Structures are given as structure tokens and as C-alpha cells.
Structure 1
Amino acid sequence: MNLQSRNNIKVLGEGPSTLIFSHGFGCDQTMWRYLLDHFTPRFKVVLYDLVGAGQSDLDAYDREKYNSLAGYAHDLGEIIDEFGTGEVILVGHSVSAMIGALVDRQSPGKIAAHVMIGPSPCYIDADDYVGGFKLEDIHSLLDTLDSNYLGWSSTMAPVIMGAPGQPALGEELTNSFCRTEPEIAKQFARVTFMSDNRKDVAGLITPTLILQSTDDLIAPVAVGEYLQAVLPNSTLCLVANVGHCPHMSAPSACSEAMDSFLSPWVGTDVD
């Protein structure tokens, strides 16, 4: 199967290093558009849709393969091998940050650095770990999603987006959720919210920028602080923002933080 059509891959910009942007649950590559003009003059930029999302090839969706994040990590590894030039930095939103961590664990050195936006290695509270949700909360969320996906999407997407002063963004995320094939979305939601990747991130030495909103229902600040503690070469940057998608609702703050972090991989000085 052609990799480019499978994942609807687009390549923009030019530079000595490659930024690969990997979107989160219910999203697609178009949601990176607020950052692209800032980075394409200095980086090769690769955009793609996870299989089952956006304009990816739905015929490539295999329920067995994608019943864990490992299936998505396998795809990302292939994309890096074929489209990555120079050093590769993964910009992963939400669950894609953990998909990138899995690739890094499996193939050390394949990813030179991570920018994790709203990441969470585990959404469920456990012992002294604060993930933001109790197990019964996640079960309830998934049960509601199973029984009424469109209703769940219409209610939850604006809450996930946040950005109370930018209602159009909530509408955009709602529409994106509703465009996703419901059975695929249900499985991906279960895989995402039931995953526990704490062992995968613990001790990962790759340079990492953690971008966390100051008010995020899905990934609270405590999760960012946990990641900073277990990733030995990480920096936590809190973005003054309400919601789980600061790359859309606070793109300038994200770009500024990313500029500082990415300076070692830029061929020329940042403007």
C-alpha cells in the first residue's frame, strides 16, 4: 500500500531538520495550520493523518492492528523512515505524544527530540499518580460514546477545545469529531483513554518540550509535572490557555516556546 495515500501525507517547507506533526484523537492534520507558516521557512514539515482520521485511506484500517497504540507507532516509524531528512523532531498532540514515545523506545535515535502538546501517559488516577480521571469516569465516558457517538461529540468537543473566547474552534473540533467514522472513533477512544504508557516515558532521555495548558480538562497540569519529573531531559512550559488544543487556541505562545526549544535544529537564527 502506498504510504503517502494511506496517511494522506503532505510535505512542506525546507530546512536541515524535519518536523513531523502528529494529531490527536478526533482531529486531523488541518488543525496544525496555525503553526505552519511559522516553521516552514526553517524546517521540512511533514503532515499526516492517523489511519482512520481525516483523509487517510479508511480501507487501511485494521481493527486488530489498531487495537493498541503500537499499530500507530508502526505507521509513524515508517513515515519517519521514508520522509524524515536530517534530524527528526516529532510534534505530537495528546495521544500522539505517546505514539512518538513508543517509536523512540523501539528505535532509539530515530527521533531527535519531542514536542509534546497536552500529553498524558495515563488518564486514570492510580496510587499517587494523578491522571485527571477515575476509572469509573473513563468507563462512563466510553459507554456514552458507544451509545451515542454524535451526541457525545457535540457535547464534549467544545469542552475539550475550551477556548471560551473562540467558539469557532469548538465548532471546528465538533465537526471533526462528527466526520470521523463512529466505529473507528469508538475503538480509538478506548485505546487512547485506557492506555498506560508510564513505563514507556520513564527515563526516556530524548530532549522533550512539554507544552501544557494551564487549564486542561483532559491533561491537567499535574500530568505535565509528572512527565517533567520522569523525563530526564525535559522542559515543562505552561501556556496560559483554557483547553486541550493550545496549538489552535494559543498558537503564538506555542510557537514562541517551540522556537526556543528547537534552536539547536535550525540552520539559521530564529527571527
Structure 2
Amino acid sequence: MPVDVVKKNNVTVRNENGRQTIVFAHGFGTDQTAWGTVADAFADNYRLILYDNVGAGLSDPAAFSPNKYDTLHSYAEDLLGICRGLNLDDVIMVGHSVSGMISLLASIKEPGRFKKLILVGASPRYLNSEGYLGGFTQEALDGLYAAMANNYYAWVSGFAPMVMENADKPELAQSFANSLASIRPDIAQSVARVIFQSDHRADLPKATIETLLLQTKHDNAVPGDVALYLNQHIRGSHLEMVNAEGHFPHISAPDEIIREIKNFIG
């Protein structure tokens, strides 16, 4: 395995001898450990690839530049770099939140690398616009950026429970808050702006890989209307509403996600 790829994205490979490969990619504020329970369910029968997006987890901090990572295409190129470095083709790609769009963009550029896409709580655009409900107004996003800049750790303490939901399991929000707090505040602010201001609606019809969309019953970060929009604009995609709440069903309701993935990949 190329050392530079491993260092840059803290790539982990499990079960080298698995005949089929599943790649797991995490969302904003988490790292590859967020997939722990879900990944474990596939470890016996599949080769698993997990990694940290640059700026998160144990990725190489020197690799992050706000000028380079000012678009999701840069993260998609990192994913393709991992696929090239490990000679991966026909992988089952599982991407949460922003990594859903990152995975889709990578599949458009090099479709032969991917056999199936599974997008969990993905969104092509978080900002509301005419005829489209993304979930946030620009005023709300500007307030979010200001709160991050003013007192990052105070913002973390409020944002984590809002998007994790599952108030009966406060330990989940605390774990997410700890993960967010471990990110350098300047990196977190830069990445948040890129994610929340992105618009990849025009890319959706370009996707050609069979896609499963997983959406919870209620998600403060990604409304159900967004999942319906994805389903309408990604040709041949399948949408499943999972019996869970919040933006992190792979953490709060892993059995639901495991079952849907198994049903989809056969």
C-alpha cells in the first residue's frame, strides 16, 4: 500500500483476503471510527477499507489547505487516489453525509471503480432556494459560521445534540461533541463552509452507479425532501426510510443500517 496514501488519509484495511471490497467514508465532524459497529458486521466476509478525510481524525494535518479543499471535488480526488493506490475496482461504496456526495462525484469521474453506492443522509445542497428545500437559509448558515468563529467549543456543545438527536441517549451526542472538539477550529470552519455552500444538484443526473439512499425519519441537517430530491434525480436510485432519528443512524441505529446494506448488496 502506498505510504503517502496511508499517511494522508490514515487508511485502514481489514480482512485483506475478502473477495469483495466495501469502502466506508465518514461525514463532517466524525472520522472512520464512526463506522465501528456497522463495519464489524461485514468484516468476516468482505475486505474493508476505512479512511479519514483530510482535516479529520488521524489524517495528515499537513495535507490540509483551505485553498485546495475549497470544493468537494478535492475530497473526491482523494477517494480516487485511495482506489488507485490500492488497485480497487467494483467496490461497494458507503458514504455518510458529505461523503455521500464525495462518493457520487468520484463515481462520475471513474465509474469503473464502483459497483454500488450507498449514501446515508446525503445532500446535494443544504441551502434553500426557489423550489428546493435544503434545510437552511443563508441567514442561518451565516449565524452558524459566526458562532463557530466566536466560540467554537460552545458551538460544538449546542450543535452536537441538535444533529445527533436521540435525546434518550445523551452519550451519543457527547461522543460526537468530543469528535468535533478534536478538530482544529480553523479547519472545521473552513470545511463547514465548503460543505454548506456546495451545490451539486447538477451532478446528480450524471451518476450511473446503482445507488441506495438511506434517510432517517427525522434529520435536522438533511430534511426528508432532500432524500426525495436525490431519489428523483439519481437515475434508478432506491430510497429507504430507516427507523431511526437524527443525522447519524449508523451510530444511533446501526442494526437498521446493517440490514439495509445487506439487503442491497445481496
TM-score, normalisation: structure 2: 0.95
On the 8 A contact 1:94/1:120 being kept in 2, the answer is: yes
On the 8 A contact 1:16/1:43 being kept in 2, the answer is: yes
Residue 12 of structure 1 aligns with an amino acid whose one-letter code is R
| Unmatched runs of 5 consecutive residues or more in structure 2 | none
Percent same amino acid at aligned positions?
38
Aligned pair count reads 263
Is structure 2 residue 4 aligned with structure 1 residue 2? Answer: yes
Matching residue of 2:103? 100
Give the Å deviation of 1:199.
0.9
- Residue of structure 1 aligned with 2:22, choices 19, 24, 29: 19
Matching residue of 1:170? 173
Is structure 2 residue 209 aligned with structure 1 residue 206? Answer: yes
On the 8 A contact 1:124/1:132 being kept in 2, the answer is: yes
Is structure 2 residue 75 aligned with structure 1 residue 52? Answer: no
Q: Secondary structure at the match of 1:2?
A: helix
Give the Å deviation of 1:15.
2.4
Once residues 193 and 261 of structure 1 are traced to their aligned partners in structure 2, the CA distance between those partners, rounded to angstroms, is 29
Distance 1:50 1:22, change over 3 A: same
| Unmatched runs of 5 consecutive residues or more in structure 1 | 264-271
Distance 1:129 1:220, change over 3 A: same
Is structure 2 residue 254 aligned with structure 1 residue 251? Answer: yes
Q: Secondary structure at the match of 1:65?
A: coil
Matching residue of 1:36? 39
**121-130 or 136-145: which moved more?**
136-145
Residue 10 of structure 1 aligns with an amino acid whose one-letter code is T
- Residue of structure 2 aligned with 1:161, choices 155, 164, 170: 164
Once residues 103 and 222 of structure 2 are traced to their aligned partners in structure 1, the CA distance between those partners, rounded to angstroms, is 17
The correspondence of residues 228-247 of structure 1 with structure 2, limited to 5 A, is 228-247=231-250
Q: Secondary structure at the match of 2:118?
A: strand
Q: Secondary structure at the match of 2:207?
A: coil
Task: Report the aligned-residue RMSD.
Answer: 1.3
Residue 41 of structure 1 aligns with an amino acid whose one-letter code is D
Give the Å deviation of 1:86.
4.8
